[in-house]
Amino acid sequence: MKLLRYGDAGSERPGLIDADGTIRDLSAHVADIAGTTLHPASLDMLSKLDAKSLPAVSGSPRIGACVAGTGKFICIGLNYSDHAAETGATVPPEPIIFMKASSAIVGPDDDVLIPRGSVKTDWEVELGVVIGKTAKYVSEAEAFDYVAGYCVSHDVSERAFQAERQGQWTKGKSCDTFGPIGPWLVTKDEVKDPQNLPMWLKVNGKTMQNGSTKTMVYGVAYLVSYLSQFMSLHPGDIISTGTPPGVGLGMKPPVFLKAGDVVELGIEGMGTQKQTFRADV
């Protein structure tokens, strides 16, 4: 299934995409795409619905973040071997973990605000993993039992805040609107191999990133298991798994985003995003 949330910000309704690409309303069956809705039993119930019998949504509503109620937005740094190479970094012996504030989450086509004082706002297309049930001390072999599905995640970053302002990376990753998610939560049964997904990103129509999850150093199952050794993962938590090469920081000379720039990105089978970047005044 392709699950989504549509409507004005703060008033989104749950829905799914039918085989013809029509949005169908799920409000009679679940309150939101969040919490217990992400549990395997609930997803199984939704998968058995006759999509054509659900109310069709008219017009072209705003699409919100595909998951609500995210408690933890966990990111993995330098998790693509080719991206590590372009930044001059060595592949880490264990995953680099940092947190992105959940308040950064917005819809896939919402405007992104360049924060005050920013001089190095950058782009990163990533595969997002959405947790479906509580995971604690799980093995790699059983990790997928705890995954509800996947989505496109745009890990927008302010490199000066991230690396030049002391401390950890979080403040360069957590600015308001720096976490577009969606358009869909694609349930795991529709994704044959999460380690073989082409992904791309364009800035003002020019392709900047053209990679694949094939080059991830630490795969989805490993990351779910690894993270669960340090913290419980809860339904709605998102793991943003790293980015392929082609970020602005890796250009020679580096290239960063400015007000008016348009960024488009997508992952095969996951849908696409499109954001206009604007100054946060």
Nearest to 133 by CA among 52, 43, 206, 218: 43
With tokens 């992105």, the residue in question is 100
Residue with tokens 């950064």: 104
pLDDT of 91:
79
Report residue 157 as tokens.
Answer: 């970053």
Judged against a pLDDT cut of 80, whether residue 267 lies above it is answered with yes
Contact by Cβ (8 Å): 62, 107: yes
Neighbours of 52 (CB within 10 A): 11
How confident is the model at residue 234, as a pLDDT?
Answer: 98
Spell out the residues 6+ positions from residue 14 whose beta carbon is closer than 8 angstroms to its own. 3, 4, 5, 25, 26, 27, 29, 30, 31, 32, 33, 37
Percent above pLDDT 70 for the chain? 100
pLDDT confidence bin for 196, thresholds 50/70/90: very high
Average pLDDT, the chain: 95
* 80-89, 136-145, 195-204, 272-281, range with the lowest pLDDT: 80-89
The H or E element that residue 82 is part of is helix 81-86
Give the residue-averaged pLDDT of 74-83: 88
CA distance 131 to 231: 13
Amino acid letter, residue 47: S
pTM for the model stands at 0.96
Q: Are 263 and 277 in contact (CB under 8 A)?
A: yes
Any alpha helices (H) in 164-255, and if so which ranges? 220-228
- Tens digits of residue pLDDT in 197-237: 999 999 999 999 999 999 999 999 999 999 999 999 999 99
**Interval 142-161 mean pLDDT:** 97
Structure confidence by residue, pLDDT tens digits, 50-67: 999 999 999 999 999 999
Decide if pLDDT at 82 tops 80. no
98, burial (CB in 10 Å: exposed 0-12, middle 13-18, buried 19+): middle
Q: What band does 168 get if pLDDT is binned at 50, 70 and 90?
A: confident
| pLDDT at 189 > cutoff 90 | yes
Give the 3-state DSSP-derived string for 114-168, with helices as H, strands as E and coil as C.
Answer: ECCCCCCEECCEEEEEEECCCECCCCCCCHHHHEEEEEEEECCEEHHHHHCCCCC
93-147 pLDDT per residue, tens: 999 999 999 999 999 999 999 999 999 999 999 999 999 999 999 999 999 999 9
Helix (H, G, I), strand (E, B) or coil at 70: coil
Q: Which domains does the chain have, with CATH numbers?
A: 2-53 (no CATH), 73-279 (3.90.850.10)
In sequence order, the β-bridge partners of residue 77 are: 96
